A and B are shown apart, each in its own frame.
Chain A
Amino acid sequence: MQLRVAVAVVLIAVLPLIVPSFLVFDLIYVAAYAIAILGLVVLTGLNGQISLGHGAFMALGGYVVAILAHSAGVPYWIGVPLAALASGIAGLLIGLVALRLAGVYLALATFSLAVATPSFLKHYKSITGGFGGMSLDPVQAPAGVPLDGQHWLYYVAWAVTGAVFLASALLVRGKFGRALRALRDNPVAAISFGVNPYFYKTAAFGWSAVLAGIAGCFLAIPTAYVSPDTFTFALSITLLIGAVLGGITTPWGALVGGLVVEFLPLVAQQINAAAPSVVYGVALILVMMFLPDGIVGGVMRLAQRIRNAPSPPALESSTTPAAPVAASPQTRE
């Protein structure tokens, strides 16, 4: 585990120095998606509450930071935490509503929220800038830091990503995570063992919304522009796709999911503008059929199998059936 984290940290630190600068831009988006998908891992993967509308919290976060910067000149380092706070409060409120909507009904309501989000943004023109959106100031590295704005933003985004991943990992490892999983797998048993469903389910919703709000900021700041088109219905669905393909029950799945949803469309678009959707749709169905814990789950199971496999069958089973006991390499089992 520690080794994996160390490799990831080194890779993330070195990558922007060796890849072309347009890729640095993509990698900032990977961070944004990974943070938002991590929210779905906590909420949907670990707690079983299906949200198809987390793009709405990203929109809230992105717009809060943008409106504060645009109209009051609030710097990003104050704006982003405020955006996370606003989104978290909205998440707690919607989490309270979600307590009443079990399973598929929650999916239905959040799906509708995702479809309706752009129309909210377009309707309240005086604050959101309507169709045209809002321009922001591009990010500059602070004086004395020998980086251009983009590289600076990259390191900030990934530092934040690291922090929220660490916080989430610590959170779900202990009592909190156990309660979430228990409420997902057998709510009745969990409640009779004294797990408070109202507290844990609402808290899971709130935390996942905080993450989505932060992610929304990092979707808005790199382009220094927000509009209803930044936070479409497709964005909400993209998050779920990333979570499912990456692996919806582990934070590593969120990281892989972020990579997948940023880069897979760039590759698939070469074939046809509609190809990413087709690939996504088919991949979702196939993953649910054959690889329900996603890419990360699949890789981990494969590794497990290789570790546990009996040594290569180089041996005598067929050639010397007379002495199977002495030669049999079964000790590993």
Chain B
Amino acid sequence: MHDLAQQIVSGLATGSIFASMALALVLIYRAMGVINFAQGELAMFTTYVAWQLMQMGLSWTAAFVVTIVIAFVLGVLLERVVVRPVERANQLTLVIVTLGLFIAINGLAGWFWGYIVKAFPSPFPTDPIRIGSVGFSAQDVGIIAVSLLTLGLISLFFQKTKLGLAMRAAAIYPEQSRVLGIRVGWMLALGWGLAAVVGAIAGIMVAPVVFLDPNMMQSVIVYAFAAAVLGGIESPIGAVVGGLVLGVVINLLGTYVEAIGNELRLAAALAIIVLVLMVRPSGLFGRATVQRV
């Protein structure tokens, strides 16, 4: 029983990473109908930036803050420079451009920092947190807390601020928003910036667990796809719930189902993606789209 509670908390911890990455994907998908395949690599790259800053003598907190600023600027810049020119192109073009970003960012990280796995410091204590007789890893609890805090702040930003409202409007009614004086192009760029920030935080949280290397986010992004699809790719709440559910389910399957084990966890994520897309493409929280032809 203790074991089960621990596994669930540990699943929630990985799940909150999936949730963050899924939310980053959803933010961009809602705004422009694009799946950003480079989202995970962007998170990996900014995590390396944080590592580099710490190597240069910054404290963990200072490096965290500076990295968030850099991630935001990077996200905005990429939207302006790379995505903007092909914004109106067809789906295939957009997929290929974000894949191009994926490959280029992965290569740049390898170029700057090499392919040798690096340790990444964790801000959380190593002593377990005891509740009754069950000990939970402080790392897991910390990851859950930081991720939920981030997701909460993002949600507040969209619900309670004028800028958040403008961004939502620009995503859903671009033409009308433009008439009302909202600079839709910049709202999209801001969305990329925010998504990059959420990704950077997820990267910094997961790096002490999976260690730092240029391919660290490749399976995480597949889980994030699965989470986003499960929740409904247009729904931020869905992304978060989908991520948490997926984290727990995958962890329990991997631990208790012999046939899945460690190696087939990814395959389970793939199966979830395909099943959800076939049976209920709008996911748990999305609305089915009706297309007039």
**A interface residues, Cβ below 8 angstroms from B:** 44, 48, 50, 52, 97, 100-101, 103-105, 107-109, 111-113, 115-116, 119-120, 122-123, 188, 233, 237, 240-241, 244, 272-285, 288-289, 292
Interface string of B89-130 (1 = CB under 8 A from A): 101111111011111111111110001000000000000000
Taken together as a complex, chains A and B put the C-alpha atoms of A233 and B218 apart, in Å, by 9
In the bound assembly, the distance between CA atoms of A84 and B282 in angstroms comes to 35
Interface-side segment among B147-155, B166-174, B262-270: B262-270
Closest to B225 in A: A108
Given contacts A101-B278, A233-B218, A241-B103, contact A112 B269 (CB under 8 A): yes
Q: Which of chain A's residues has its CB closest to B274's CB?
A: A109
A104 and B111 contact, CB distance less than 8 A: no
Give the complex CA separation of A31 and B293 in angstroms. Answer: 43
Q: Which residue of B lies closest to A277 (CB)?
A: B107
User: B265-285 CB contact bits vs A (8 Å, 1 = yes)?
Assistant: 011011001100110010000
Chain A nearest CB, measured from B45 CB (Å): 12
Contact with A along B25-53 (1 / 0, CB 8 A): 00000000111010000000000000000
Q: Are A101 and B104 in contact (CB under 8 A)?
A: no
By a CB distance below 8 angstroms, the chain B residues around A289 are 85-86
Report if B226 contacts A (CB, 8 A): yes
Chain B residue with Cβ nearest A106: B277
Given A50-B92, A188-B293: A123 and B261 interface contact (C-beta under 8 Å): yes
Q: Which residues of B contact A (CB under 8 A)?
A: 33-35, 37, 82, 85-86, 89, 91-97, 99-111, 115, 218-219, 222, 225-226, 229, 261, 263-264, 266-267, 269-270, 273-274, 277-278, 281, 293
Q: Establish whether residues A277 and B110, one from each chain, have CB atoms under 8 Å apart when the complex forms.
A: yes
The 3 A-B residue pairs whose C-beta atoms are closest, nearest first, are: A281-B104, A277-B107, A284-B100
Contacting residues, chain B, for A188 (C-beta < 8 A): 293
Inter-subunit contact B102/A281 (CB<8 Å): yes
**Contact residues in A for B219 (Cβ distance below 8 Å):** 115
* Residues from chain B with Cβ under 8 Å of A52 in the complex: 95, 99
Residue on A with the closest CB to B259? Answer: A123
Q: Which residues of B contact A281 (CB under 8 A)?
A: 100-107
Known A52-B99, A119-B264: A288·B111 in contact at CB below 8 Å: no
Evaluate contact between A111 and B104: CB separation under 8 angstroms.
no
Are A240 and B99 touching (Cβ within 8 A)? yes
A252 CB to nearest chain B CB (Å): 19
Q: How far is the CB of A45 from chain B (nearest CB, A)?
A: 9
Across-interface contacts of B101 in A (CB, < 8 A): 281, 285
Residue of B nearest to A107 (CB): B95
Asked if A109 and B270 sit within 8 Å, CB to CB, the answer is yes
Q: What separation, in Å, do the CA atoms of A259 and B223 have in the docked complex?
A: 34
Question: Are A112 and B270 touching (Cβ within 8 A)?
Answer: yes
Taken together as a complex, chains A and B put the C-alpha atoms of A274 and B213 apart, in Å, by: 13
Chain B CB within 10 Å — which of A97, A111, A119 has the most?
A111
Tell me the complex Cα distance, A315–B34, Å. 52
CB–CB A240/B104 < 8 A: no
The answer on a CB contact under 8 Å between B96 and A240 is: yes
Q: Known: A115-B218, A237-B103. Is A48-B92 also a contact (CB below 8 A)?
A: yes
Scoring A52, A115, A276 by chain B CB atoms within 10 A of each residue's CB, the highest score goes to A115
Looking at B94, B99, B106, B274, the one whose CB has the most chain A CB atoms below 10 A away is B99
